[in-house]
Structure 1
Amino acid sequence: MDVHEEPSPNPVQVSVPDRLEYRLKQQRIAAEFGYFALKTWDLDELLQEATRLAALGLNATHAKYLRPLGNGAGFLVVAGVGWKSGVVGHARVGDDLESPAGYAYHTETAVISNHLENEERFRTPLLLAEHGITRALNVIIRCDVKKYGVLEVDSPGEGMFDEADISFLENFAAILGVAMQRAERDEQLKEASALQEVLVQEASHRVKNSLSVVAGLLAMQARTAENDDVARALRDAGQRVQTVASVHDRLWKNNTVRIIGLGTFLRDLSEQLQATTSGVTVRCRVDDVDVLTQQAVTMGLLVNELVTNAVKYAYDEQGGFVDVEVRPSAEGCLVLSVEDQGRGLPDKLDTSGGSSLGLRLIASLSRQLGGEPRWERLSPGTRFTVTFLPASDS
């Protein structure tokens, strides 16, 4: 079957200068659409602009994008210009070989119908007849091995579509096919990323729940312990495990994987610590800086230990303030400090750790950050500082 019609016996005569201008116009429109396709990520907007410019490029009043529904259900008019209200998004046309669009889709051959009223090769779709369409041009939209549908340009006026028009519309459809493939792959990447995010959050959530169970078991053991020192050690261990659980909880709720905003993270942690104290106010001043999640976890555990110690030992029933601060240094480091205005450190306290599990933990966490802990006796109170380099994401 020859799908390209023979020239009309009395074709509309077009002068050479006018025809040259017509082809130059088509080149400009194709270039304009190529630029538009590169900058937009909205598929609906892309398809609508494609039909508008395709009609403009062929001096036609109507155009449409036909999406195959599969299983013999025909094509759906997804985008288009020139059609009556209710057509785009609802109307269907046939996708079999007796349909011009169906033939173009299945054979991957452009189909010109310049005289639909006398068409004997195909049946004229009812949609075209209802709009008084007298000529149509159909080309397939594809990229690599996937077919995305058919781009059709229609006109109720006089004139003829020719081989040069086929070339224009096929090139136009090729650009559209690449853009549609890009949009499809972008959507697939988003779905894969969303799935990975869900899996990471689920893993973190399970870690948090498991740690909470361990903390609960330690608390139970503390309540049944007959020795006060053992009970106190179990309670302290349970609180530390619960802190780790809380840190994980905050990370998965913030969709955090590798990088976290330190300011928000430590302010939230300080508010949580404040809620567990009575008479002591925890104040937090932290610059907005991003750090690796693992470094934030270490800082969170360190701040928890320091604030908890200050609440326990710095003040009596009247309470006071504990200040948490992170600031940049001139050398590009970060300086973490926790300060109180309480009774101060005992004179003979070994701040390097000694027999105190809490102080040994503080020293260990400080070194994990890459710094050395420093204790200062104030008048009144105590200041702890550690200076370290932010870890790089490499």
Structure 2
Amino acid sequence: MDETTAELHKLISQQAAIAHFGNFALREPDLMVILTEAARLCAEGLSVPFCKVCRYRAAENDLLVVAGYGWNPGVVGHVVSRADLTSPQGRAFITGNPSICDDVSREVDFELPSFYAEHGVVSTIDVLIKGDDLPYGVLEIDNDQHHDYDQHDIDFLTGFANVLAEAVATSTRTQVLNESVNQMRILVEEKDRLLEQKNTLAEELQHRVKNNLQLVYAMLSKQLGDTVDPFERKGLSAIARRVFTLAQVYDHLLGREMTRTTDFGSYLKSLCASLADIQGSANDEISLTCTSDSLSLDLDVVTALGLAVAELVANAYDHAFPDGRGTITVSALKQDSEDARAILTIADNGKGFSINGGTKRHGVGLVRRLIEQIGASATVVSDQGTVWTILIPTPGQAAS
């Protein structure tokens, strides 16, 4: 093989080594593995026994050997050179240009670390490894023999340095991303912990409020049983019913996160079932049925509507059926229109009552105030039976 053919073969091998290393660096996530492999390939590609990667440390203003090939223990990770013109790698770092030293013993301005003499280093080439703000450091090959390096050798080493610069930038971005992800994970875990704590406290609060309301309801029920006067009994009964309705709200909320909305449909069915149990014991031939769509409403709206339904159902049980027989229906349905509002209907097939004249039905005024309070509107028709129709503004809708 003549000299020209050998040189061509060397160039092809060097270009193949750079391409292979580029593919390797793209796949390998560990920067230290990339740097170490670069040192090995550079040494082999230039047929030298030693190669090292030096990282610049701004605080110390020096160059630390962070990866290498061929060196004795104690060099990689320990040896430093000043980042100035007193060393081959310092000169390349300061000037930004490749630094070629054919014989380090002739460089009188150099203050070389002892490991150069210990390894018999005679000649070196150093090229800069670029960075975003500051250069990352220097890539250096070291030979224990005198050698005249040419531009092809510099180009080969520079190609590796450019791949390393991109690998360093990718590693830095990955590290920042991982730190951001870890920080986000910590924040999410803290948020989950606080939410769990909040939900635990909220559920405990719901339990206590519910238990207290049930205790008050039990005391009122006992007092009601001991009261003979019919007017006092009606007053106590109305208060007990309202306390019971409030307790039902908290009973419905138990086990759920404390949010500003809840499913009114589910609550309404539970409320009507409880009202039927309470009233049905003395009115076996009066039936109460309930149907409802799923309606997500504000808690204040749900509470007000629950009190209104309880009042109207109780009035129907007490006054609508002189003969003790009849049907009460409660329904809450969504409207299919652009001005979507829910329709709550409380109806009975009883005797009806005079809307404009005097009425024995207690709580009607309270019902109207509750409805106005939540921005709803109500109409009542009472001739052959009574029908209350309440238009409820759903979230994002205003009452007209």
**Matched-pair contact (CA < 8 Å) for 1:295–1:391:** no
2:289 pairs with 1:287:
no
Cα separation, partners in 2 of 1:17 and 1:122, compared to 1, 3 Å: closer
Distance in 2 between the 1:113 and 1:57 partners? 7
**Matched-pair contact (CA < 8 Å) for 1:292–1:393:** no
2:372 corresponds to: 367
Distance in 2 between the 1:198 and 1:287 partners? 29
Cα separation, partners in 2 of 1:293 and 1:215, compared to 1, 3 Å: same
Distance in 2 between the 1:307 and 1:119 partners? 91
Distance in 1 between the 2:289 and 2:32 partners? 66
**Matched-pair contact (CA < 8 Å) for 2:329–2:347:** yes
Cα separation, partners in 2 of 1:242 and 1:369, compared to 1, 3 Å: same
Distance in 1 between the 2:13 and 2:289 partners? 82
What aligned pairs does 1:174-213 form with structure 2 within 5 A after superposition? Answer: 174-213=176-215
Secondary structure at the aligned position of 1:288 is classed as coil
1:383 corresponds to: 387
1:228 corresponds to: 230
> 229-238 or 247-256: which moved more?
247-256
Q: State the 1:244 CA deviation.
A: 0.8
Provide Cα deviations, 1:62-96, integer angstroms capped at 9, x if missing partner.
xxxxxxxxxxxxxxxxxxxxxxxxxxxxxxxxxxx
1:327 corresponds to: 334
Distance in 1 between the 2:397 and 2:187 partners? 27
2:271 corresponds to: 269
What aligned pairs does 1:54-65 form with structure 2 within 5 A after superposition? Answer: 54=29
Distance in 1 between the 2:193 and 2:270 partners? 30
Cα separation, partners in 2 of 1:14 and 1:308, compared to 1, 3 Å: farther
Cα separation, partners in 2 of 1:166 and 1:323, compared to 1, 3 Å: closer
Distance in 2 between the 1:208 and 1:111 partners? 70
Distance in 2 between the 1:385 and 1:212 partners? 30
Asked which structure has the greater CA Rg, the reply is 2
Cα separation, partners in 2 of 1:356 and 1:275, compared to 1, 3 Å: closer
Letter paired with 2:332: E
**Matched-pair contact (CA < 8 Å) for 1:243–1:304:** yes
Provide Cα deviations, 1:170-224, integer angstroms capped at 9, x if missing partner.
4433322221111111111111122222233333332222222322232233233
Secondary structure at the aligned position of 1:323 is classed as strand
Provide Cα deviations, 1:80-129, integer angstroms capped at 9, x if missing partner.
xxxxxxxxxxxxxxxxxxxxxxxxxxxxx999566799644799xxxxxx
Residues paired across the two proteins, number: 271
Cα separation, partners in 2 of 1:17 and 1:264, compared to 1, 3 Å: farther
Cα separation, partners in 2 of 1:166 and 1:273, compared to 1, 3 Å: same
Q: State the 1:229 CA deviation.
A: 1.7
**Matched-pair contact (CA < 8 Å) for 2:66–2:76:** no
2:6 corresponds to: none
Secondary structure at the aligned position of 1:257 is classed as coil
Cα separation, partners in 2 of 1:264 and 1:116, compared to 1, 3 Å: farther
2:245 corresponds to: 243
Letter paired with 2:14: S
Secondary structure at the aligned position of 1:254 is classed as coil
2:107 corresponds to: none
2:312 corresponds to: 306
1:339 corresponds to: 347
Distance in 1 between the 2:315 and 2:70 partners? 88
Distance in 2 between the 1:116 and 1:229 partners? 105
**Matched-pair contact (CA < 8 Å) for 1:282–1:324:** no
TM-score computed with the length of structure 1 as normaliser: 0.57
Letter paired with 2:342: L
Secondary structure at the aligned position of 2:29 is classed as helix
Distance in 2 between the 1:294 and 1:14 partners? 79
**Matched-pair contact (CA < 8 Å) for 2:377–2:391:** yes
Distance in 2 between the 1:192 and 1:393 partners? 33
Cα separation, partners in 2 of 1:219 and 1:273, compared to 1, 3 Å: closer
Secondary structure at the aligned position of 1:187 is classed as helix
**Matched-pair contact (CA < 8 Å) for 1:259–1:292:** yes
After superposition, the CA RMSD in angstroms is 4.0
Letter paired with 2:335: P
Cα separation, partners in 2 of 1:319 and 1:344, compared to 1, 3 Å: closer
Provide Cα deviations, 1:34-65, integer angstroms capped at 9, x if missing partner.
xxxxxxxxxxxxxxxxxxx62699589xxxxx
| Unmatched segments (≥5 aa) in structure 2 | 1-11, 36-62, 78-159
Secondary structure at the aligned position of 1:320 is classed as strand
| Unmatched segments (≥5 aa) in structure 1 | 1-12, 30-52, 61-108, 124-159
